[in-house]
A and B are shown apart, each in its own frame.
Chain A
Amino acid sequence: MSEFKPTILAFCCNWCSYAGADLAGVSRLQMPPNVHVIRVMCSAAVKPEYAFKALSEGIDGVLVLGCHIGDCHYLTGNHRTKKRFPVAQRILKDVGIDERRLRLDWVSAAEGEKFQQVITEFVSDIKKIGPNPLREVKM
Chain B
Amino acid sequence: MNDLGRKLAKIAFEERKADYLLAARDESGNVAPAFVSKGEDVGDVRMDVPYQLVMVLTKLYPWIGKGKIAVVARRCDEKALNELTKRGIFDAERIVKVGLACSKEQIAKCRCDDPVPSKVDFGEPQKGAASDELAGKLLKMTGEERLKFWVRQFRKCNKCFGCTTNCPVCFCDHACVLEERELVAEKSIPPGLAFHLVRSFHMADKCIECGECERSCPADIPLLTLRKLVKKDMKELYNYAPGNEKAISPLLTTLEGDKLEDDSNVC
Give chain A's interface residues, CB within 8 Å of chain B: 48-49, 52-53, 55-57, 68-71, 76, 79-80, 83-84, 86-88, 90-98, 106, 108, 110-111, 114, 133-134, 137, 139
Contact = CB atoms under 8 A, between A and B. Distances in A.
Interface in B186-222: 188, 190-194, 196-198, 200-201, 204-205
B201 A95 contact: no
Nearest to B227: A94
Contacts of B141: 96
B13 interface: no
Contact of A96 (B144, B155, B260, B262): B144
Contact of A76 (B145, B147, B149, B255): B255
A95 B264 contact: no
B239 to A, nearest CB: 13
Contact of B148 (A76, A83, A96, A111): A96
B88 interface: no
Contacts of B149: 96
Interface stretch (B48-56, B58-66, B94-102, B177-185): B177-185
Nearest to A111: B267
28 contacts: A48-B201, A49-B183, A52-B201, A53-B184, A53-B194, A56-B193, A68-B265, A69-B261, A69-B262, A69-B264, A69-B265, A80-B255, A83-B251, A83-B252, A87-B205, A87-B230, A87-B234, A87-B252, A90-B233, A91-B197, A91-B201, A95-B193, A98-B143, A111-B267, A137-B151, A139-B151, A139-B188, A139-B190
A98 B145 CA distance: 12
Interface in B230-260: 230, 233-234, 236-238, 251-253, 255, 258, 260
A94 B192 contact: no
